Amino acid sequence: MKQQWVYGIGAAVLGTPVLVGIALSPVWSQTEPLIESETPLEEAVPAYSIRVTSALDGDPVADEQLTLREALKLANGTLPLDALSPAEQALVEPLTDGAGSEISFELPEGETTIELVDLLPEVVVPNLVIDGTTQAGYDAEAMIDPRFPPAPVVTLTVAPGQEVARGLSIAADGVVVRGLSIYGFRTTDRATQTTPPSDIFISALAPPVDASPLTPPLPMFRLSRQDTVPQGVVVEQNWLGLPPSDEFPEVPSAFGVTVFNSTDAVIRNNRIEHHDGSAIISGFQANGLQISENAIVGNGLAGMPDAIRLEGTIAGSAITDNLICGNDGSGIYLFKPEGASQITGNTIQYNGRRFFRSAVYVMGSDHQINDNFIGFQPGPGVVVAAHPDSDRNLIRQNRFAQLDGLSIDLVTQGNAGVQDFQRGDGPNPPRNSHNRRQETGNGAINAPRFDSYRFTGTGDTVTVTGRADPGSEVDLYLVVEDDRPYGPLAEVITTVSAGDDGRFSADLEVPPGSHLSAIASDPSYGTSEPAPVAAVLDADGSLPVLPPPAVEIPSCAPPEPPEIVVDPEPEPLVLEVPRNIHFALDRSDISAESAEILDQIAEVMLEFPFLTLELHGHTDPRASAAYNLALSERRANAARNYLIAQGVPPERMQIVPFGLTQRLSDESSRLAYARDRRVEFVFTDLRGVDIIFVDQEDDLQLE
Amino acid sequence: MRRIYRKRPKKRPVYLGVLFFLSLVLSYGLSFWGQPPSPVYSQALIENQASAEVGPPGDRQVIPSNPTQIAPAPGVLPPGVEEPRLEIVKTADRAAAEPGDVAIYRLLVTNVSNQVADPVTITDQLPQGLIYVPDSVRSEPQQPTDINLTDSTLTLTFGALGPNESISVVYGVLMTPDAVRGDGRNIAQASAPGFETVTAVYQMTIRPGIVADCGTLVGRVFVDRNFDGQQQPGEPGVPNAVVFMDDGNRILTDPDGLFSVINVLPGYRVGTLDLYSLPGYTLAPNLYRIEENSVSRLVRLSPGGLARMNFAVTPTFGEEQP
C-alpha cells in the first residue's frame, strides 16, 4: 500500500501555521453566508431572469455589467434591484410566473472564466437555476455518452493566489446548477483545520471554513432540523474538478460535491475528476440522493480515496449507471450509514490505485447491489462488513472480472481489523454455530457448495448439483478466469432454488472446459460468498482449455466520438438509373423491358441502404378518374411487388397512386398517352443529399 | 542367510522392535534393582540374642549368646509415648485486600499429641500496615487468658489444651495505606512448654485500591459532522484509529471508535492521533473551542482519576501539501 500521503499529512499537522495567511484570507466574508441565511427571507423574494455579462469578481459595483456575485445577491434578495446601475438593470427581467430566478450567461467570448476572489454568497432562494448552457458556444450536441457531458464554457474557479473554499454553496430547495466547469476550490494549511472544501457544497447553514479568531461566535448547528434542509437540489451536466480544456487543473479541487445535509439531491450527467478527496461525499444527511450517469474518474488523489463515500443518513439513495473508474480507493464506500442504498448498473473498474480496497465496501443493511460491472480491482469486488451489523444486502446479477480477492466477501467472526475494513477477510468457513449469524456480514449465509469440483458433461449440457442454505436462491455463474479456486463471477447463467433440504440442481448448457461458481441469496439474510469453482469435463473425462478472456487495456477515457458513418459532406450520389417504367394501355403487368429497369432499381436500392423509394403510379387521361386511380395503384403495386421479389426491403418503399392527375404533357397523341402510363420512382437520400438522376424512356409501350 | 536377508529387507523393523522391547525390560529391571531399600524406622528398643547348637546329631546343646540391645535413635520416644506436637492453620476471609478493608484472620490450633499443652501461646506477627482491630478476638471453645499487643505483634495466651483439642481464634485487622508498602505476609506461631513451636504463613495480596496513583484514560475517535468536538447521534466512531501517548503507549480504538486505558501513571498526559491509521481522515476543526483544534490532547490525570481524550476527525484532502 502506498502511503505517501502520510508525509504530506504529517507535514500538514506539524507544519508551521501560516497565521499571516489567515489574517489575509477573507475570513470575515466567509461567514457572510451564515449571516445572510440567518435572516430568513419571510416575504417572497422577487424572481428575476438575470444575465451575467462579466467574468470579473469583487464587491458589487453599480457599473455597466453584471457579475455572478451580483446576480446571486440579487437572486438572494440581499442586493436590491435599484442598487444597480441602469445598464445593469437592463440585464435583469422580473419574472412573474411564480418560477424561481434564473441566472444565464452572456459572457464575452474568451472571457468565460470567472475567477473568484472570495466565497460566493450562499444560495438561499429556492428554485434558482444557474445555467451555464446558456452561454454562447455551448455545444449541447457534442454529448456522445450521457456520462460525459459536453465541455462547459462558463468556468468557475479561483483567482491565482487566492484561496476560496467552496465554489457554490447551496442552502435552498430546488436549486439547479447546470453546465458549469467548477474547479480549484480548496484550502491551504493554517492554524486550524478547515471544514471540507468542495466545488459544490449542499447544506443549510454551511459551516464556516475554519475557527479562526476572526470568526464570530457560532450558534449551535442544528443539522437535524428538517425544515431548513435543502431539498431537491440538482447538479447536472457540469465538469467538476477539471477545466473545459480537459487538462489536469493547476490547482486540484478538494472534494467534488459534498452532500452535507440535504434530501433528494440529484447529481446526474456530470464529469467529476481529479479531486484530492472523494468525488461525491455525504455528511450528515443525504436521504434520497440520486447519483446517476456520472463519470467519476481519477479522484481521491491525496485525501479520502474513495470515489463515492456515503456516510450519515442515506435512506432511499441510489447510485445508478455511473462510470466509476481509476479512483484511488474504493469505488463506493458506505461508511456506517443509516438507511439503505441502491447501487445499480454502474461500471466500477480500475479503482484502488492507491489503497488496495474493495471495489464496493458496504456497511449497514438492506442495500441492493445489482447489475453492476465490477472489475480490475486490486481487492475484492463487494465486501460486506461484520461490524456494524450488516445484513440483508442483496448482491445479484453483477459481473466481475480481474479481482484480487473474492467477488463477494462477507467479513466473519466480528473481524474488525484494519484489513477487514478495507479488503475483507477472504473465504469464510461454513457456519458452524448460530452465533456466526450475529458476527458475520449478511447473517453468515453459507456459500453454496458443489457436490464435486468436477462435473462431467454430456454434449453441451451438464447437470450441476450441490448444497446451499435451504430456501435460498442460487445464482450459477460462469467463471472465465480459472487460475484460482475463487475466480471472479463473470456472467450469471441461471438461477435455481435450493430445496428444503438445501439441495439444488441445474442443467446448464455450457461447453466442456467451462468453470462454474455460484452464490446464494436469501432475502432474510442477503447474498453469500461465491462457491469454490467447479470445472465441467468433457464426456471422456478430459478438461478442454478454453481460450482466455481478451485482455483489456485500462482506460477511463470518455468514449471516442463514433466513427462518422456518414461523411461530414457526403458526396452527392450519382444514380444512372431509370426513374420510371411504362405500361401498356389499361395494363398493370410488368413488361420484360420494365423488368430490366426494375432490376437496375433493385440493384441500386440494395447497394445504397440509405435510399428510400416512393412509387408514384400514373395513367393516361382516358377513362374515369376513379378507375385510373385504381389502375395507377395497381401499377405502382406491381412495380413494388417486383422489387420486393428482388430483395428490396418493403419498409423502404411507399406507394403513391396519382391516377390521371399528373400527366406529363397536355398532348393527346399516342406517344403522349404512352408516356403518361408510367410508374415514377422517387428516390430520397436519407443523408439529405441530392441525387443526380438520368432519365430514360427505353421501355415506352405505344398502343 | 545373507541372501534371504537381502531379499527380505522388510523384516528388519521386527528385529529392531525386539531389541527395543528387550532394552525396555532391561531398563525396567535396572530401575527396580536400583531402587534404594526403604528405611525401617524403629519406634522402640530392639533386643537381639543369638544362639548356637553344638554337639553330635541327637545331642545338640544350645548355647545362647548374651542379649544385645539396639537403642532407638536419639529423640525417638519409647513405644506408647507420643511427641508433644501442635498444629496451626491460618486462613483469612480474602486473598486480596485494599487499604481501608478489614480482613478477618482465622487461626486453628490443634494439639495432635496425647499430652496436654499448657499454656498455649499464639503469636501473630502482622504484616506492615495492618493493624489489629481492638477487641476483635473471638475464640472457642476457650477464651484467651491474656491478649497482648506489642507493636504489630499480637500475643494470645490460652489455658491448657488437651490431646486432640482445638482452639479456633478469629480476629480482624485493618488495612492502612501503609499496607501497600509491605508484603502482606503474615506469620502466626503457636507454642506450649515442651512442645515444638509451629508456624503458619498466610500471604494476602495487597492492592493499592483507593490509594492507587494510576488513572484511567478513556476517549473516542469519531467523524465530527457539526464540528463541535462532541460525538452526537449520526457521528460514527472510526475503528482501528491509533492514539499515541507521551509515554509511548499505542492505543487502538475498537470498532466503535472507543478506547480505554487503565493503569496510566498520573500527571500531565498527552495523546495524539496517528493519522497514518485513518487514511482519508484528518482532525476536524472545532468551531466552538479553539483549544480542541490542537493535534494533541493534554489531560491532567489525577492519581486514580479518569480523563478523556476525544479526537474529532473529518474527511481530508490535500495530503500532498508540504
Q: Rounded to a whole number, what is the distance in Å from the CA of B246 to chain A's nearest CA?
A: 16
State how far the Cα of B258 lies from the Cα of B255, in Å rounded to an integer. 7
CB contact under 8 A, B319 and A302: yes
Q: Does A115 have pLDDT greater than 90?
A: yes
For B257-297, write each residue's pLDDT tens digit. Answer: 999 999 899 999 999 999 888 888 999 988 888 888 888 99
Instruction: Scan for cell 544362639, then name that residue.
Output: B51
Contact A78, A91 (CB under 8 A): no
Residues of chain B whose beta carbon is less than 8 angstroms from a beta carbon of chain A are 223, 225-228, 234, 236, 239-240, 254-255, 275-277, 279-288, 290, 293, 295, 314-322
- From chain A, the residues in CB contact with B280 under 8 A are 277, 300, 303-306, 309, 329
Q: DSSP secondary structure string, A44-95?
A: PPPEEEEEE-----SS---SSS--HHHHHHHHHTSS-GGGS-HHHHTTEEEE
Across chain A, what does the average pLDDT equal? 85
Nearest CA in chain B to A279: B317
Q: Comparing A372-381, A477-486, A581-590, B96-105, which segment has the lowest mean pLDDT?
A: A477-486
Separation of CA A176 from chain center: 18
Binning pLDDT at 50, 70 and 90, where does residue A36 land?
very low
Q: Does A613 have pLDDT greater than 80?
A: yes
Cis amide bond preceding A243, omega within 30: no
Contact A130, A168 (CB under 8 A): yes
A671 vs B: CB within 8 A: no
- Of B236, B284, B315, which is closest to A281 when you measure between CB atoms? B315
CB contact under 8 A, A304 and B316: yes
Query: Looking at residues B190-197, what average pLDDT do you find?
Result: 90
Cell triple for B197:
513451636
Identity at B48, one-letter amino acid code: N
- From chain A, the residues in CB contact with B319 under 8 A are 5-6, 8-9, 12, 276, 302-303
Q: DSSP secondary structure string, B154-217?
A: EEEEE--B-TT-EEEEEEEEEE-GGGGGS--EEEEEEE-TTS--EEEEEE-EEP-GGG---EEE
For A511-568, write each residue's pLDDT tens digit. Answer: 888 899 999 999 999 999 999 999 999 888 888 888 887 777 777 877 776 665 555 5
Half-sphere exposure of A8 (CA within 13 A, CB side): 20
- From chain A, the residues in CB contact with B315 under 8 A are 196, 255, 277-278, 281, 303-304, 309
Q: Rounded to a whole number, what is the distance in Å from the CA of A490 to chain B's nearest CA?
A: 31
How much of chain A, in percent, has pLDDT values that exceed 70? 90
> Which residues touch B310 (CB under 8 Å, ≥6 apart)?
B219, B220, B221, B222, B229, B230, B231, B292, B297
Tally C-beta pairs within 8 A across A and B: 153
Binning pLDDT at 50, 70 and 90, where does residue B7 land?
very low
Nearest CA in chain B to A314: B234
Look at residue A699 in the predicted model and tell me its pLDDT.
77
Look at residue B200 in the predicted model and tell me its pLDDT.
93
A196 vs B: CB within 8 A: yes
A448 vs B: CB within 8 A: no
- From chain A, the residues in CB contact with B223 under 8 A are 311, 335
Q: How far is CA A402 from CA A338, A480, A481, A548, in A?
A: 31, 10, 8, 12
> Which residues touch A281 (CB under 8 Å, ≥6 apart)?
A196, A198, A255, A256, A257, A258, A259, A304, A308, A309, A310, A311, B315
Helices A625-645 and A592-607: angle between axes, nearest 10 degrees: 60
Look at residue A686 in the predicted model and tell me its pLDDT.
76
For A79-99, write each residue's pLDDT tens digit. Answer: 888 889 999 899 999 988 778
Q: Rounded to a whole number, what is the distance in Å from the CA of B315 to chain A's nearest CA?
A: 6
Look at residue B82 in the predicted model and tell me its pLDDT.
65
Look at residue A28 in the predicted model and tell me its pLDDT.
37
Query: Looking at residues A23-30, what average pLDDT do you find?
Result: 37
Contact A534, A516 (CB under 8 A): yes
CB contact under 8 A, A416 and B315: no
A210 vs B: CB within 8 A: yes
For B121-156, write each residue's pLDDT tens digit. Answer: 999 999 999 999 999 999 988 899 999 998 889 999
CB contact under 8 A, B319 and A197: no
| Range A484-497 burial, b when 16+ CB lie within 10 A, else e | eebbbbbebbebbe
Look at residue A175 in the predicted model and tell me its pLDDT.
95
Q: Residue B26: which H helix or E strand, with range?
A: helix B12-33
State how far the Cα of B121 lies from the Cα of A626, in Å rounded to an integer. 149
Q: ipTM, 2 decimals?
A: 0.72
State how far the Cα of A513 lies from the Cα of A457, in Å rounded to an integer. 10
For A452-476, write each residue's pLDDT tens digit. Answer: 999 988 877 899 999 999 999 999 9
- Of A8, A304, A414, which is closest to B320 when you measure between CB atoms? A8
Look at residue B213 in the predicted model and tell me its pLDDT.
85
- Of B226, B281, B288, which is closest to A223 when you measure between CB atoms? B226
Q: Comparing A566-580, A655-669, A673-687, B21-35, which segment has the lowest mean pLDDT?
A: B21-35
Query: Looking at residues A124-142, what average pLDDT do you find?
Result: 91
Nearest to B82 by CA among B249, B213, B194: B194
Which residues 336-355 in chain A show a CB within 8 A of chain B? 336, 338, 355
CB contact under 8 A, A303 and B284: no
CB contact under 8 A, A387 and B315: no
- Three-state DSSP class for residue A2: coil
State how far the Cα of B62 lies from the Cα of B52, in Å rounded to an integer. 5
CB contact under 8 A, A188 and B321: yes
Q: Rounded to a whole number, what is the distance in Å from the CA of B216 to chain A's nearest CA?
A: 24
Mutate to test the interface with B, among A336, A351, A423 (most CBs of B within 10 A): A336
Cell triple for B185:
505476609
Cell triple for A55:
467574468
State how far the Cα of B263 lies from the Cα of A211, in Å rounded to an integer. 35
Q: How far is CA B181 from CA A494, B97, B101, B267, in A?
A: 76, 13, 15, 22
Cell triple for A666:
397536355
Separation of CA B53 from chain center: 68
Q: Does A2 have pLDDT greater than 50?
A: no
- Of B226, B286, B315, which is closest to A278 when you measure between CB atoms? B315
- CA gyration radius for chain A? 34
Binning pLDDT at 50, 70 and 90, where does residue A216 land?
low
Look at residue A321 in the predicted model and tell me its pLDDT.
94
CB contact under 8 A, A313 and B234: yes
- Three-state DSSP class for residue A319: strand
Look at residue A29 in the predicted model and tell me its pLDDT.
37
Q: Comparing A494-503, A551-560, B226-235, which segment has the lowest mean pLDDT?
A: A551-560
Look at residue A18 in the predicted model and tell me its pLDDT.
38
- From chain B, the residues in CB contact with A14 under 8 A are 295
Q: Rounded to a whole number, what is the distance in Å from the CA of B302 to chain A's nearest CA?
A: 29
Instruction: Scan for cell 507521551, then name that residue.
Output: B246
Look at residue A579 in the predicted model and tell me its pLDDT.
82
Q: How far is CA A613 from CA A200, A557, A609, A681, B133, in A?
A: 54, 42, 11, 6, 122
Instruction: Scan for cell 456497511, then name that residue.
Output: A363
Binning pLDDT at 50, 70 and 90, where does residue B118 land?
confident
DSSP-assigned beta bridge partners for residue B252: B242
Which residues 220-259 in chain A show a CB within 8 A of chain B? 220-221, 223-224, 254-255
Mutate to test the interface with B, among A193, A253, A328 (most CBs of B within 10 A): A193
Binning pLDDT at 50, 70 and 90, where does residue A15 land?
very low
pTM of the model: 0.68
Query: Looking at residues A392-421, what average pLDDT do you find?
Result: 91
Q: How many helices (H) and strands (E) does chain A have?
A: 10, 46
A379 vs B: CB within 8 A: no
State how far the Cα of B3 lies from the Cα of B268, in Å rounded to an integer. 88
Which of A570-574, A664-668, B27-31 has the highest average model confidence (pLDDT)? Answer: A664-668
For B51-68, write each residue's pLDDT tens digit. Answer: 888 888 888 888 888 888
For A218-229, write each residue's pLDDT tens digit. Answer: 666 667 777 789
- Of B239, B281, B283, which is closest to A416 when you measure between CB atoms? B239
Across chain B, what does the average pLDDT equal? 82
Look at residue B5 in the predicted model and tell me its pLDDT.
44
CB contact under 8 A, B236 and A302: no
Binning pLDDT at 50, 70 and 90, where does residue B36 land?
very low
Which of A21-30, A523-532, B42-51 has the highest average model confidence (pLDDT)? Answer: A523-532
